[in-house]
């Protein structure tokens, strides 16, 4: 596992109403809220982390819910779909669940030999639930309404839409070590063999499509996983060697990060496994307390009075 990208670490998106976001992901999708904190640059805005029981890299979906944020628009230079892995035979359960909860969805379809179901969250963020060809043995977080036979396992893939895919593909292959597995029409699937899950990036090339607008219902950035800080800095050197601008190492409390914009326009992050989400809460307590970055702790009372109530 030395000097390797270990698939996806997390995906961060923008939402509007915080309570709607919280209710949708914890109740309807059945994810665990593993961390309730605030935006590092805007402490009056939540930063929610959803995932499996432990917040395992490759299962972590995070949101900045900005009240009153205008709606985004899907297009090029964007992450346009987030794919979750679900058990075989579960798509009918999800279709019925979406129907009962007035969730916008499309009937199951197939690509790359796998059945999938598309749906939108309350802000219009697009997802796919995929019955993976490879049995997914990752532990699931279950709820009284979403049991083990249907619950998500974590990410299956992420889709990037681009006017021209060459630059993005070069980052995936030459820096991150992904390989082109297959192309169907204008969708090319890139896969890493360093991990079994959360290992897929699809590039959709749409030369004539308009550039998207990142706002509510849009992905802000996608993060790729590395083992530790030494590996993080190894990849920083590789990004610099390709002539791309990249940040210095940033401490995000639960992981260390680097950020750069790939040639296709999408913001990429590289994030470490360490120190993890139990650094300030026990496994049992994850997500139950408002955790603040140290610089905001002295303003806790004011921040708590401004943040929307979730219950």
| pLDDT tens, position by position, 232-290 | 999 999 999 999 999 999 999 999 999 999 999 999 999 999 999 999 999 999 999 99
283: CB partners within 8 A, 6+ apart? 53, 54
pLDDT higher than 90, residue 311: no
Tokens of 246: 């990249």
Whole-structure pTM over 0.85, yes or no? yes
Taking only the tens place, the pLDDT of each residue in 97-113 is 999 999 999 999 999 99
Element (H, E) at 269: strand 267-275
Q: Are the C-beta atoms of 277 and 300 separated by less than 8 Å?
A: no
Contact 232, 238 (CB under 8 A): no
How far does CA 126 lie from the centroid of its chain? 12
Mean pLDDT of the chain: 96
User: Does position 17 have pLDDT exceeding 60, yes or no?
Assistant: yes
Distance CA 150, CA 140 (A): 9
Dump pLDDT digits (tens) for 150-195.
999 999 999 999 999 999 999 999 999 999 999 999 999 999 999 9
Contact call for residues 282 and 51 (beta carbons, < 8 A): no
């Amino acid at each position: 596992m030395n000097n390797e990208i270990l698939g996806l670490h997390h995906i961060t998106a923008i939402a509007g109403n915080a309570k709607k976001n919280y209710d949708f992901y914890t109740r309807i999708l059945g994810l665990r809220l593993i961390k309730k904190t605030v935006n590092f640059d805007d402490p009056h805005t939540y930063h929610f982390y959803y995932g499996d029981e432990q917040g395992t890299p490759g299962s972590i979906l995070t949101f900045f819910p900005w009240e009153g944020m205008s709606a985004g628009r899907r297009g090029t230079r964007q992450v346009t779909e987030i794919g979750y892995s679900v058990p075989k035979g579960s798509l009918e359960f999800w279709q019925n669940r979406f129907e009962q909860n007035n969730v916008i969805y499309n009937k199951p379809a197939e690509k790359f030999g796998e059945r999938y179901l598309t749906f939108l969250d309350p802000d219009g963020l697009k997802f796919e639930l995929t019955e993976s060809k490879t049995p997914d043995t990752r532990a699931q977080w279950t709820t009284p309404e979403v049991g083990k036979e249907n619950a998500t396992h974590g990410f299956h893939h992420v889709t990037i839409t681009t006017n021209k895919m060459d630059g993005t593909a070069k980052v995936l292959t030459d820096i991150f070590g992904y390989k082109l597995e297959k192309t169907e029409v204008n969708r090319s699937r890139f896969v890493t063999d360093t991990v079994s899950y959360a290992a897929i990036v699809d590039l959709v090339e749409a030369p004539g499509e308009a550039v998207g607008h990142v706002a509510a219902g849009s992905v802000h950035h996608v993060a790729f996983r590395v083992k530790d800080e030494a590996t993080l800095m190894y990849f920083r050197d590789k990004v610099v060697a390709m002539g791309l601008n990249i940040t210095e190492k940033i401490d995000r409390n639960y992981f260390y990060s680097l950020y750069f914009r790939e040639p296709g326009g999408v913001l990429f992050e590289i994030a470490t496994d360490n120190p993890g989400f139990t650094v300030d809460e026990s496994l049992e307590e994850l997500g139950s307390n408002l955790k603040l970055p140290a610089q905001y702790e002295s303003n806790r009372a004011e921040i708590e009075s401004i943040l929307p109530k979730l219950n």
